[in-house]
Amino acid sequence: MPSYEFLDHPGPIPFAHRGGARGYPENSMPAFQHAVDLGYRYLETDVHATCDGVLVAFHDRTLDRVTDRSGPIARLPYSAVARARIDGAEPIPLLEDVLGSWPQARVNIDIKDEPAIAPLLRALHRTRSWHRVGITSFSTRRLIQFRARLPIYTDQRVCMTLGPRGIAALRARTAGRPLEMCTRFNQAGVGCVQLPSGLGRLPLVTEAFVQGAHAHGLPVHVWTVNDPAEMERLLDLGVDGLFTDDLEALRRVLTTRGLWPTPHPTT
């Protein structure tokens, strides 16, 4: 498997989910700043494109749930989206705002819709951020489309996650033919697997799954974990990263285990 700079981290990676959505408006600049101030080096966010091709860091397809305005982002011009305020207070940031404000941070980016792919590629090119992003999506198709459009000189630098179809295949064959699957993952630019700990009563992240993923060269990152007891359980299984809204809780758990990362020099 290729070595991705995005994954170069001593011990389990703490991810600030949507910047740390507990206590601050999610996916807002104050949330990201708070995460960085707490020592988080990995931020997680989502991207949508407006109808005029502007890429924003925002989770939902519509403005309705967390802002003082309404409507689907993909059908609105950026001039309208820019007037929205998260929790009635904070503007919706551009992805380039996030990438540019904390150049020492690594950013896990969830592609929420196909129209976001081209603006995302442009944003990564303008900010030269290929090496410090992880690309994920709930759509295997979107991941394939993103990968196919990567410039040749960057395709071995961008860390991508395993899509839903790949996760299903990995769960079914965690103990079988690791060399063959490693080759497939390498060719697809896959550097890690990210998934919830379970779906309803169906556990997804088990000891066997983690061991199988590791046998195929894939670190396992689990979202979104806000309960300290669940953090402890997953760390005991050997997972390689946790996404959380509760930044303080995860920092306490990792610190107690001697796993909280030392401060990284600002660049």
Which residues are the active-site residues? 17, 59
Name the burial class of residue 203, with classes exposed (0-12), middle (13-18) and buried (19+) by CB atoms within 10 angstroms of its CB.
exposed
Residues in the chain: 267
Residues 6+ apart with CB under 8 A from 10: 261
Rg of the chain (C-alpha set) = 18
Segment holding 191, helix H or strand E: strand 190-196
Indicate the residue type of 111. I
Encode 103-136: b = buried (16+ Cβ within 10 Å), e = exposed.
eebbbbbbbbbebbbebbbebbeebebbebbbbb
Among the listed residues 105, 96, 100, the one whose alpha carbon sits nearest the alpha carbon of residue 55: 96
CB 46 within 8 A of CB 62: no
CA distances from 107 to 39, 96, 137, 159, 264 (A): 14, 11, 14, 11, 15
DSSP 8-state code for residue 67: B
CA–CA dist 235, 29 (Å, integer): 29
